[in-house]
Amino acid sequence: MTTDPHAWLVSLEGVPSGFAGARDGIDVVLRDRGLRRTSPELTAESLLRGAQASAVLEGSASTLAEVRAGEGDEIAADAVRLATELLALVPVLRRQPLQALARLHTVAARGTLPDELLGRPRDGESAAKLRGIAELITAPTEAPALAVAAVVHAELITAAPFGSHNGIVARAAERLLLATKGVDEKSLVVPEAAHLALRPQYESNLRGWASGGPAGMHAWLLYATEAYAAAAEASPLVRDAE
């Protein structure tokens, strides 16, 4: 008998309805605007915007214009490098999530850490935490895919299992999960931009998750429903049509 590790969140007040509403918003953007306008160029633009936003959350000072021109700082360059390889990891995340997480870090931290530390957890506790997160990704569940992505994001960023780039890896894993689980297969919504726009709430609620208390975890999930709604509005499908 398989136990659903996400079953606890389905009963939380406001969480199932919040994620259902966020998914509806994403579906509307992808259906109404995406069917006629989807292209590899729009996916690339979404990934670029996400990389720049994720880099800023990690400490970069580079603007989107600078990143677009290839003039971003080192953190931005790391995030862009990861974004360019991200969707190739969809089948890996589906079958071997631990390997996919290691690859995310290897690509992001290349040139920053020694080669022998790329993709490797900091210690035994971090390795165990990564194995647990990998199980969260593949476990059968009745929970919404958006909720699973939010949990994995929070777990990765608060555990900080790698020697560097944990925030960039966590946000990339979130986006990758949305593609892998069929929420946004062409990666057109921009969750990283939503987190940047909501930065005070984002960082505060991650601290709440890290505390391990039920109230903090509940608050993070409610925040995530708001962030995913904003992620849909940050899509180039919407912004470029305005």
pTM of the predicted protein model = 0.95
Average pLDDT over residues 97-123: 97
Q: How high is the pLDDT of residue 37?
A: 66
Q: Strand pairing partners for 113? A: 110
Q: Which residues, other chains included, contact 70 with Cβ-Cβ below 8 Å and sequence gap of 6+? A: none
pLDDT digits (tens, 9 = 90+) for 57-73: 999 999 999 999 999 99
Domains of the chain are 7-239 (1.10.3290.10)
* Per-residue pLDDT tens over the stretch 220-239: 999 999 999 999 999 998 86
Nearest-CA neighbor of 85 among 44, 118, 117, 116? 44
Distance of CA 12 to the CA centre of its chain: 22
CA distance 81 to 211: 32
The predicted-structure confidence for 18-52, as pLDDT tens digits, reads as follows 999 999 999 999 987 655 567 899 999 999 999 99
pLDDT tens-digit profile of 195-225?
999 999 999 999 999 998 999 999 999 999 9
